[in-house]
Homo-oligomer: A and B are copies of this chain.
Amino acid sequence: MTAPGTEMHALITRLYPICRSITGGGVRETLRIIQEQVPLELREVPSGTKVFDWTVPKEWNIRDAWVKNSAGERLVDFHKLNLHVVSYSSPLHRRLRLAELRPHLFTLPAHPDWVPYRTTYYEDNWGFCLSENQLNQLRHDQEYDVCIDTSLEPGYLTYGELLLKGEESNEVLISCHICHPSLANDNLSGISLAVALARRLGKSGRRYSYRFLFVPGTIGAITWLAQNEDGLSRIRHGMVLTCVGDSGHITYKRSRQGNAEIDRAFAHVLKHSGEPYDVIDFFPYGYDERQYCSPGFNLPVGCFMRSRHGEFPEYHTSADNLEFVHAEALADSFAKCCEVIDLLEQDRIYLNQNPKCEPQLGRRGLYSPVPNEEGSRCRELALLWVLNLSDGGHSLLDIAERSNLPFAVIKDAAAALTKTGLLRSAMLG
């Protein structure tokens, strides 16, 4: 069996060449490749469908695009890099002088080798993104053959959805955006992490039901919310996955609620990881947590990432490529999310069945015969903390936070105490 980071990087590599946008064939092709790994269902929502304040746009597809010189050489070529075309550019085929073309050309002067990523979803326009070096080769005295072979026609918005049912109908929502073309960290990394989590969760029993959404950013999340409003109360926890493959340290952005269990679970796991990390407060921009955390829903959905969107220079440029994401980072992101999910699965309130004075742990074999050994000391403290705080007002995560012990140690203590009958899950009535 391959290591999860390697598998995730392989999926990113396979999806990287496809030209995705918020609608169109590239999204469908992406979702069909994901279907090879997890039983995703594809949803098609017709253009023109009203979704809250928005309308599902026309479907955009692209076949080719170029800027040719008089010698017929492609100076800018969509087939070399799909970032070269501003996403949702309207079709065009004309001969233009540089002066006419220039307002439609976008570069990154600070990084003369890099090509920026641009979109014009909701404004009828067209354009090319190219490197500053490419731009410098264009001449004012020359006329260019400019072609954008796209179509913008009534069609569908496509997204993927997967529900893994658990013992409870309460759900954990895991969402990633699938609308970016050849950009690896943003967000093929998020897609690959969602796939890896779905595969892992599909293999074993689950307390919660897990709903995975692979949606175009903003309009996709809004469309899903508009069409699934009745079921939103089932969502107990959620996370948006984005930019999880770069070599930066992990950043978790809290939900709008600020102290939801998902927020505390990520904070706990990251704190005990011994590695650098950031936990930051919610703010109403970023990825689709904006929609899930809009005031009409206020769902407990945070955002899991490594380097923060907009804060690394490669963001939304051709430098966010296959070299920018690493199997080790992907594996670490996967491991942290698994640890958080395990915590959510196991967190619950227990009741001390012997709340008056301590029970006699020794005669139940719960005290170590070697009293001062480090691991056993920690286990015994965990037993005492669980007993002392299992008064109906504290979950295992509460106890882990208060005792400053790792959740896993607290959970094991609760399991050992449950076995002796000293502890009982509060949910068993």
Contact = CB atoms under 8 A, between A and B. Distances in A.
Interface in A94-133: 122-123
Interface in A115-166: 122-123
Interface stretch (A13-21, A267-275, A301-309, A352-360): A352-360
Given A295-B352, A296-B357, A285 B381 contact: yes
B285 A384 contact: yes
A297 B256 contact: no
Interface string A372-389: 000000001100110111
A38 interface: no
B384 A53 contact: no
A389 B352 CA distance: 40
**Chain A interface bracket (under 10, 10 to 19, 20 to 34, 35 or more):** 35 or more
A33 interface: no
A54 interface: yes
Contacts of A283: 381, 385, 403
A123 B53 contact: no
A40 interface: no
A53 B359 contact: yes
Interface stretch (A169-177, A178-186, A201-209, A286-294): A286-294
B354 A53 contact: yes
Contact of A52 (B222, B284, B293, B354): B354
- This chain: how many copies in the complex? 3
Contact of A355 (B284, B296, B362): B296
A347 interface: no
Nearest to A121: B362
Contact of A360 (B54, B229, B360, B362): B54
Given A229-B356, A284-B387, A285-B381, 19 more contacts: A52-B357, A53-B354, A53-B357, A53-B359, A122-B362, A218-B358, A226-B356, A226-B357, A256-B388, A283-B385, A283-B403, A284-B384, A284-B385, A290-B358, A291-B357, A291-B358, A293-B388, A294-B388, A295-B387
9 contacts: A51-B357, A53-B358, A284-B385, A284-B387, A284-B389, A290-B384, A293-B388, A294-B357, A295-B390
7 cross-chain pairs, A with B, having the tightest CB-CB distances, nearest first: A296-B355, A296-B356, A284-B388, A295-B391, A53-B359, A284-B384, A222-B357
